[in-house]
Structure 1
Amino acid sequence: MPEDKQVPTYAELRARTDAPAGSAWGIFGADDEVGTLNHLTPRQVRAAATLVRTGEVINLNLPLETFDPPVSPYRKSLRHHMYSNYPYHRDEYLDSFYPQASTQIDGFRHIGHPEFGFYNGTSPDRFQPHDPVLGINRFTERGIAGRGVLIDVDRYRRAQGRPIDHAAGEAIGLGDITGAAARQQVDLLPGDILLIRTGWMHRHLNELSPEQRDEEKKGMRLSGLRAAEDTVAWLWDHRFAMLATDNFSVEAFPPPVDSPFLTDKERRGEVSHFSYRGAMHNVLIALLGLPLGELWNLDDLAARCAADGNWDCLIVSTPLNLTGGTGSPANAVAIR
Structure 2
Amino acid sequence: MFRRWQKRPIGSNWGDFGDDDELGRLNYLTPEVRRRAARCVQEGLTFCLSLPLNLPGGTVIHRLRHPPRLSALARGEDGTLNYNYPLAIEQPGATDIVSDDVVTLATQYSTHWDTFAHVGQSFDADDDGVPEPLYYNGWRAGRDVAAPDPETGAARTSRLGVDTMARACIQGRGVLIDLRHHLGPDRHLVGYDDLMRIIEADRVEVQRGDLVCFYSGFGDRVLAASGALDPADAHPARCAELDGRDRKLLGWIDDSGLSALISDNIGVEALPARPADLDRRATLPLHEFCLFKAGIALGELWYLSELATWLRSHERNCFLLTAPPLRLPGAVGSPVTPVATV
| TM-score in terms of structure 1 length | 0.82
Confirm or deny that 1:235 pairs with 2:262. Answer: no
Contact kept in structure 1, 2:263 and 2:301, CA below 8 Å: yes
CA radius of gyration, larger in: 2
Confirm or deny that 1:110 pairs with 2:118. Answer: yes
Residues 81 and 139 of structure 1: is their aligned pair in 2 closer, same or farther, counting only changes over 3 Å? same
Report the CA distance between 1:174 and its aligned residue.
Answer: 2.0
Residues 64 and 204 of structure 1: is their aligned pair in 2 closer, same or farther, counting only changes over 3 Å? closer
- Which residues in structure 2 correspond to 1:120-199 (within 5 Å)? 120-124=137-141, 125-127=143-145, 128=147, 129=155, 131-157=157-183, 163-166=184-187, 170-199=188-217
Report the CA distance between 1:214 and its aligned residue.
Answer: 3.0
Higher mean C-alpha displacement, 197-206 vs 117-126: 197-206
Question: Percent sequence identity over matched residues?
Answer: 31
- Which residues in structure 2 correspond to 1:62-81 (within 5 Å)? 62-70=51-59, 71-81=61-71
Contact kept in structure 1, 2:266 and 2:301, CA below 8 Å: yes
In structure 2, distance between residues paired with 1:222 and 1:248: 10
How many residue pairs end up in the alignment?
Answer: 297
Paired letter, 1:92? D
Contact kept in structure 2, 1:108 and 1:118, CA below 8 Å: yes
- Which residues in structure 2 correspond to 1:2-41 (within 5 Å)? 18-41=7-30
Confirm or deny that 1:281 pairs with 2:282. Answer: no
Confirm or deny that 1:52 pairs with 2:41. Answer: yes
Report the CA distance between 1:130 and its aligned residue.
Answer: 5.5
In structure 1, distance between residues paired with 2:272 and 2:237: 6
Q: SS of 1:300's equivalent?
A: helix
Structure with the bigger percentage of helix: 1
Report the CA distance between 1:265 and its aligned residue.
Answer: 3.4
Paired letter, 1:265? R
Residues 240 and 102 of structure 1: is their aligned pair in 2 closer, same or farther, counting only changes over 3 Å? same
What is the match of residue 276 of structure 2?
258
Confirm or deny that 1:91 pairs with 2:100. Answer: yes
Residues 100 and 149 of structure 1: is their aligned pair in 2 closer, same or farther, counting only changes over 3 Å? same
Residues 104 and 35 of structure 1: is their aligned pair in 2 closer, same or farther, counting only changes over 3 Å? same
Q: SS of 2:285's equivalent?
A: coil
Report the CA distance between 1:131 and its aligned residue.
Answer: 4.8
Residues 108 and 92 of structure 1: is their aligned pair in 2 closer, same or farther, counting only changes over 3 Å? same
What is the match of residue 312 of structure 2?
306
Contact kept in structure 1, 2:157 and 2:332, CA below 8 Å: no
Paired letter, 2:66? K
In structure 2, distance between residues paired with 1:211 and 1:84: 29
Residues 203 and 64 of structure 1: is their aligned pair in 2 closer, same or farther, counting only changes over 3 Å? closer
Contact kept in structure 1, 2:237 and 2:266, CA below 8 Å: no
In structure 2, distance between residues paired with 1:92 and 1:184: 46
| TM-score in terms of structure 2 length | 0.81
In structure 1, distance between residues paired with 2:172 and 2:231: 37
Paired letter, 1:77? P
Report the CA distance between 1:288 and its aligned residue.
Answer: 1.0
Consecutive unaligned residues of structure 2, counting only runs of 5 or more, are 1-5, 73-79, 85-96, 125-133, 148-154
In structure 1, distance between residues paired with 2:226 and 2:164: 39
Report the CA distance between 1:85 and its aligned residue.
Answer: 6.8
What is the match of residue 8 of structure 1?
none
**Root mean square deviation of aligned Cα:** 2.1
Residues 211 and 47 of structure 1: is their aligned pair in 2 closer, same or farther, counting only changes over 3 Å? closer
